[in-house]
Structure 1
Amino acid sequence: MSNPGQADPTPITHARQLAEWFAAGSKPRDAWRIGTEHEKFGFRRQGGTPPSYEDQGIQAMLEGIQAKGWAPITDAGNVIGLTRDGESVSLEPGGQFELSGAPTQTLHETRLELAAHLRDVHEIAAPLGLGFAGMGFHPVATREAMPWMPKSRYKIMRRYMPLKGGLGLDMMLRTCTVQVNLDFGDEADMVEKLRVSLALQPLATALFASSPLLEGTPSGFKSLRGRVWTDTDPDRTGIPACVFEEGFGFERFAEYVLDVPMYFVARDGILHDVAGASFRDFMAGRVEALRGIPATMGDVADHVTTVFTEVRLKKFLEMRGADSGSAAMVLAKPAFWVGLLYDDAAQKAARALTRSWTLDEIMAMRAEVPQQALQARIAGRELRDVAREVLAISADGLRARGLGEEAYLAPLWEIAESGMTQADRILQLYHGPWAGDAAQALPFCEM
């Protein structure tokens, strides 16, 4: 979850303004960029426990990186994020350390950005006795063992999440993801990209599955993170059906967003807890706790960050459905989607492949993937077979860019050809050399 942006005080009184806000993200092809974000779990090398904010933990990590020329982002006097040259470092509720990269033109620039970040992390973490691992779900820690970061919005979510689903607090505390943010050309391009990416997001969840362990033992899932998201909050998660309806566009998505319940409204540095109230009611002055406070476009920008669909529309598209993993897997995520969506022929091929899939079939695939990964099925086909076809389309799209970026798909090809996900390899080690010691997953998955 990224750090808050700057508020826009422009009043909002109609859904059309939000639709125009989305539409303002439309860009010509030469302005399309790649924004990669990834999260990772901190662990103490002695004992493997998750580091707290204090006690030579996450706060010290932020201070160490800040000293390298980053500007701090604070909340009630605590440093909870950093920013520099379009990049930001932020914290998830359980101290998961996140890099939100600057928009880049090529995947090679993304690789250099990631390498520089990981060098800084290693340099600061080493004297603190910390490591950072890329996995989708914490392999050993209980929910109670995870620390809470001093970020105001998390207090509101901590109270509200258990009212909406059984695993919302686990989503907050014990999951890590990698995502890529991509641009669109106009409304028609947005619609096609959103439909393609929502249809294929379960495939990405399968390919990137890296979270088979729960509190030290196999959970029965390959992507436990993927399972967690199915019981977090049905009001704001999943695959919104409206995307596949006739006439879908910016305005229809705006209508959807306005009915998603809010978490908070920020004023003068204070977050007002209005969890459960819809933004539509806020605009109409029907939220008692916000009487006399007009809704603004800045509030919209904050609210959109609390919509947790598998692919999220902002002024760009966020591909959100993958477990975190190794540095190579972090780079494979943008490669997968850039290949599919930044070349016209590849995008059309991906749309042709998925066009006949019904919403019910896509939803059924999404439900199967956390447990079955590449053995799940869609339209009578096993996902491992679909994966090879989709990777071929993505590779063609990357080759058309002429930059040699198709090399970043290598770990995904290995998974699709072998049928062995990161989760399968972790389980193989758990039942073999690790002799049931799940704590070894943390140093094994260190980034």
Structure 2
Amino acid sequence: MKSCEVNFDGLVGPTHNYGGLSYGNVASQSNSQQSSNPKEAALQGLAKMKALMEMGFVQGVLAPQERPDVAALRSLGFAGTDAQVIQQAAKQAMPLLVASCSASSMWVANAATVSPSADTADGRVHFTAANLNCKYHRSIEHPTTSRVLGAMFADQKHFAHHAALPAVAQFGDEGAANHTRFCRDYGEAGVEFFVFGRSAFDTRYPAPQKYPARQTLEASQAVARLHGLRDGGVVYAQQNPAVIDAGVFHNDVIAVGNGEVLFYHEDAFLNTEQMLGELQGKLGKLGGNFQSICVPRAQVGVEDAVRSYLFNSQLLTRADGSMLLIVPEECRANERVWQYLQGLTSSGGLIREVKVFDLKQSMQNGGGPACLRLRVALNETELAAVNPGVIMTAPLYDTLTQWVDKHYRDSLRETDLADPQLLLECRTALDELTQILKLGSVYPFQIN
């Protein structure tokens, strides 16, 4: 049965703003308080989705969160009408209002960890929503994320959904941003690769000293158990604590994998040779041929990798078997990174082409092409069972661009978040979006 990998890109939300909320994310912090353009951000994301669809890739869309999250503010003691809650928060605790308006859910690489049916004990595709408990503004996402994923992948015969792990530091889980999968073919059993920043209970593992390690070994192991993964199909690796302290807050900022290939920076991991050997051995037992591309620090330093988001790229397999790398415009603007990429594609190696996309609005908030998408490997039967309303088509692209033009603002500053009208605009837009994507009632304002 034919299988494919579907990229479900997050649709940028109407409250896209630069709150600088993510300690450890250099771009997020450095652009804090600048004026954002939600309309431009959403259209840039949609343009990438359309381009991949036109290249022949199956492309989906994942709806944003309701923001501001009034229920979260109420749970913190603000009361009255929705407008009064927002006004009180703006007056008494503006940072909490900013957090409740975060549009970081657009980076759906953090939405969940996904294991395809070829890997799982019960032969279903498994989803575990990420608890994202390292950051308050992201920890409030998973209830809506679970409902949206449930509406997209509703057939229990093919799809299994797990609640987020316990919201405590010992089980910090950041979803697919620290997870990838290697396989000979998307429909065959593969090796799932979990990267963690620290261990909650085992002191033998070193931890970063400056920035937090968001993913724990224990969380990764728990997800593997929930998904029913076999020991021979899992590899755990520790991220280098030094690169976390250099601003590499997720593994997808320093490495990306696809098919049988891992593209990574020389300083990405601890015990790299041991890890590569384990990946090669386990994939080899499944008939695969694991290959790796190491980017030397002498050619591209960690700082350049973080600034350009070279590794926060999409590594895609085309119909002819060659690989394509989708990178942000910032890679072309960085002389060392661009020189490396030119040499990479001209060498006749595994990656044959690089395509550049303008994702400036997302990049300034700390997320590149890889952050914007959640990968789901599906066979033909499973793809047919996905809610068809979320699969990108030319008519859907036109409808969504018109929807964005109708509902989104051209600029947004922190002071604008205190405007109760923004909440009404957001709810009106999302109510219409759920009808466009055929999601039903997934947002709190639609349910309560």
Q: Same fold (TM over 0.5)?
A: no
